[in-house]
């Protein structure tokens, strides 16, 4: 019997703004769609947190024995610079700036995305479709919405008619926004004159002569609106109605709101039973974003080559750091938080090594392993609460160390249970990995360089510039380059 039959999961549903008992449409099977990246630049750490949240959810469903189809798309066309259907296509703009073909941009940053997720031990999705691979599907959806009178064509562009849709539906059902408030707070922007209403969004945009990415359609050469691709791909691979749709909190409006409107206009039913939104990772108390430059790239966290960090941190330490906040909570990034996470992670790994060598005894124990195991499952069953799960894991760490010290004991059945449970939750569900010898050496190297930087700073404070220069020059000779800045000294390796 599959584990899922023994466990009831509650999920916070953004659609109802409350936790609900999870009941899949088809028993034992789950369809989950998550909005993937727009591949016009390197994935940053904030993006990584969102995808990591759903990686853990995917892992837990698999652990429980569900047959799950996880679809995560690649946006390689149609995503303009702002949500008002104006500006350049982000990928076309990057292609123009780098003087390469748009599909070279797509290839470059798709490869980067996959490499980063592999480095951080993500499981691949079941299907990873692209927007450009589903142009025909999107055109067919537009035709269907036009036939129902919920969209209109103007000068080669097609727009979704929100006011017409709202006569018999509720645009704002997900985000809680009121259509009258949207109308009141929307100002008419230059270039929006083709729209009947400023709130209407593009299903298809006419391609201007300088727009590189274009496809033929019944309305002329153009490209699909950004919101449309997810409706096309999610329904194609998961059906008109599926279980879970996920993404970052910033996608709730307008992107996901528009997805609901499109799907209901097309199929006359709400497309998703459970909407899930992961919260942001902040830096300096502000949202991480490529557009503002307030972000850190995953490579920088590994190398430590950034003013924000004192050294580099391993992929598993980074995962462990992110899991110490619930996926719906804001998590603020800092060097101190990573240092503390590294200490906790190493403590956990040491306990697992100890666990391998423990021997059972007949002496009674005051630690109830069965109840502890139930606590681990209860944490994940409660809207995938990784902080509570980690607390339970460290209850086991404390117990393991007591057995090692001879102040507690464990019987053979409990020893088998705790080994299997720790293996399942630490490695299979949380996706952590044991530090390799190479990884350990890398950490020791980072700590050694940090020590030398500290000694060099002391020499400079004491105006011993000869020693300061000697430390810098000797490091330079072996391929370790120091760079001084207003926020301190960072290093890079050849």
**284 lies in some domain:** no
**15 lies in some domain:** yes
The alpha-helical segments, DSSP class H, found in 154-200 are 162-165, 179-185
CA atoms 383, 387, 391, 393: torsion sign: positive
Q: In terms of domains, do 75 and 190 share one?
A: yes
Contacts of residue 207, Cβ cutoff 8 Å, sequence gap at least 6: 213, 214, 221, 222, 223
Q: In terms of domains, do 477 and 448 share one?
A: yes
Q: In terms of domains, do 199 and 126 share one?
A: yes
Instruction: Give, in order, the Cα–Cα distances in Å from 159 to each of 141, 181, 234.
Output: 13, 20, 21
Q: In terms of domains, do 221 and 311 share one?
A: no
Residues in the chain: 494
**Full-model pTM:** 0.86
| Tens digit of pLDDT at every position of the chain (494 positions) | 899 999 999 999 999 999 999 999 999 999 999 999 999 999 988 899 999 999 999 999 999 999 999 999 999 987 876 665 777 788 888 888 889 999 999 999 999 999 999 999 999 999 999 999 999 999 999 999 999 999 999 999 999 999 999 999 999 999 999 887 776 565 554 445 689 998 999 999 999 888 888 999 999 999 999 999 999 999 999 999 999 999 999 999 999 999 999 999 999 999 999 999 999 999 878 877 666 767 788 999 999 988 888 899 999 999 999 999 999 999 999 999 999 999 999 999 999 999 999 999 988 899 999 999 999 999 999 999 999 999 999 999 999 999 999 999 999 999 999 999 999 999 999 999 987 643 445 566 777 888 888 889 888 888 888 888 898 888 887 878 887 876 578 776 65
Domain final position from 278, 303, 320: 278
Tokens of 100: 């390469």
Within the chain, how many helices (H) and strands (E) appear?
16, 15
Map residue 308 onto helix, strand or coil: coil
**285 lies in some domain:** no
pLDDT of residue 437: 40
pLDDT of residue 439: 47
Q: In terms of domains, do 250 and 335 share one?
A: no
> Pick from 286, 287, 316: which is nearest to 301 by CA?
316
Cα separation, 364 vs 366, in Å, equals 7
**226 lies in some domain:** yes
Domain final position from 211, 243, 278: 278
Q: Are 421 and 413 in contact (CB under 8 A)?
A: no
Cα separation, 205 vs 156, in Å, equals 7
CATH of the domain at 26: 3.40.50.620
Residue range of the domain that includes 419: 291-429
Q: Are 275 and 328 in contact (CB under 8 A)?
A: no
Across the strands, what pairs with 118? none
Cα separation, 468 vs 454, in Å, equals 10
DSSP, res 40: S
Q: In terms of domains, do 260 and 296 share one?
A: no
Q: In terms of domains, do 357 and 482 share one?
A: no
Q: In terms of domains, do 43 and 120 share one?
A: yes
pLDDT of residue 184: 55
Cα separation, 326 vs 385, in Å, equals 6
**357 lies in some domain:** yes
**435 lies in some domain:** no
CATH of the domain at 351: 1.10.730
Number of domains comprising the chain: 3
Neighbours of 398 (CB within 10 A): 12
Q: In terms of domains, do 332 and 449 share one?
A: no
pLDDT of residue 476: 85
Domain final position from 243, 278, 313: 278
> Pick from 240, 41, 44: which is nearest to 141 by CA?
240
Cα separation, 52 vs 334, in Å, equals 18
Burial tier of 236 (Cβ tally within 10 Å: 0-12, 13-18, 19+): middle
pLDDT of residue 258: 97
Q: In terms of domains, do 422 and 447 share one?
A: no
The alpha-helical segments, DSSP class H, found in 384-436 are 386-405, 412-422
Q: In terms of domains, do 229 and 259 share one?
A: yes
**270 lies in some domain:** yes
Contacts of residue 334, Cβ cutoff 8 Å, sequence gap at least 6: 308
pLDDT of residue 185: 60
Q: Are 259 and 284 in contact (CB under 8 A)?
A: no
Q: In terms of domains, do 462 and 318 share one?
A: no
**434 lies in some domain:** no
Q: Specify the residue for token string 């947190």.
A: 49
């Amino acid at each position: 019997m599959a584990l899922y039959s023994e466990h009831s999961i509650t999920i916070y549903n953004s659609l109802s703004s409350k936790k609900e008992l999870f009941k899949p449409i088809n028993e034992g099977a789950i369809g989950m769609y998550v909005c993937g990246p727009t591949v016009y630049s390197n994935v940053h750490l904030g993006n990584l947190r969102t995808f990591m949240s759903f990686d853990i959810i995917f892992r837990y469903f698999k652990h429980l024995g569900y047959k799950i189809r996880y679809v995560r798309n690649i946006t390689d066309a149609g995503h303009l610079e702002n949500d008002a259907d104006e500006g350049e296509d982000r990928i076309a703009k990057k292609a123009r700036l780098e003087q390469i073909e748009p599909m070279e941009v797509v290839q470059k940053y798709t490869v980067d995305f996959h490499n980063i997720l592999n480095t951080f031990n993500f499981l691949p999705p079941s299907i990873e479709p692209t927007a450009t691979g589903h142009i025909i599907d999107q055109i067919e959806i537009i035709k269907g919405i036009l036939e129902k009178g919920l969209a209109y064509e103007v000068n080669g562009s097609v727009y979704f008619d929100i006011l017409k849709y709202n006569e018999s539906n509720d645009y704002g059902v997900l985000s809680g926004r009121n259509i009258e408030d949207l109308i009141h707070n929307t100002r008419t922007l230059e270039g929006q004159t083709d729209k009947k209403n400023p709130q209407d969004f593009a299903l298809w945009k006419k391609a201007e002569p300088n727009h590189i990415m274009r496809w033929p359609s019944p309305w002329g050469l153009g490209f699909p609106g950004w919101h449309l691709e997810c409706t096309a791909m999610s329904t194609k691979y998961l059906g008109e109605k599926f279980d879970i749709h996920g993404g970052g909190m910033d996608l709730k409006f307008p992107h996901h709101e528009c997805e609901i409107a499109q799907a209901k206009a097309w199929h006359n039913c709400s497309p998703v039973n459970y909407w899930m939104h992961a919260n942001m990772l902040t830096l300096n108390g502000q949202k991480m974003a490529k557009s503002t430059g307030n972000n850190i790239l995953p490579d920088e966290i590994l190398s430590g080559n950034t003013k924000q960090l004192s050294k580099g941190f391993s992929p598993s330490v980074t995962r462990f750091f992110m899991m110490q906040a619930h996926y719906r909570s804001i998590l603020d990034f800092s060097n101190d938080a990573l240092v503390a996470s590294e200490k906790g992670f190493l403590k956990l790994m040491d306990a697992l090594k100890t666990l391998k060598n423990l021997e059972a005894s007949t002496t009674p124990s005051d630690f109830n392993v069965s109840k502890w195991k139930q606590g681990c499952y209860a944490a994940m069953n409660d809207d995938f609460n990784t902080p509570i799960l980690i607390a339970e894991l460290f209850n086991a760490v404390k117990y393991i160390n007591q057995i090692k010290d001879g102040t507690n004991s464990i019987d053979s059945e409990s020893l088998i249970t705790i080994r299997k449970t720790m293996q399942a939750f630490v490695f299979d569900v949380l996706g952590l990995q044991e530090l390799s010898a190479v990884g350990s050496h890398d950490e020791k190297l980072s700590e050694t360089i940090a020590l030398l930087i500290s000694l060099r700073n002391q020499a400079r404070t004491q105006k011993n510039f000869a020693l300061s220069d000697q430390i810098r020059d000797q490091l330079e000779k072996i391929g370790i380059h120091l760079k001084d800045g207003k926020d301190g000294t960072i290093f890079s390796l050849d």
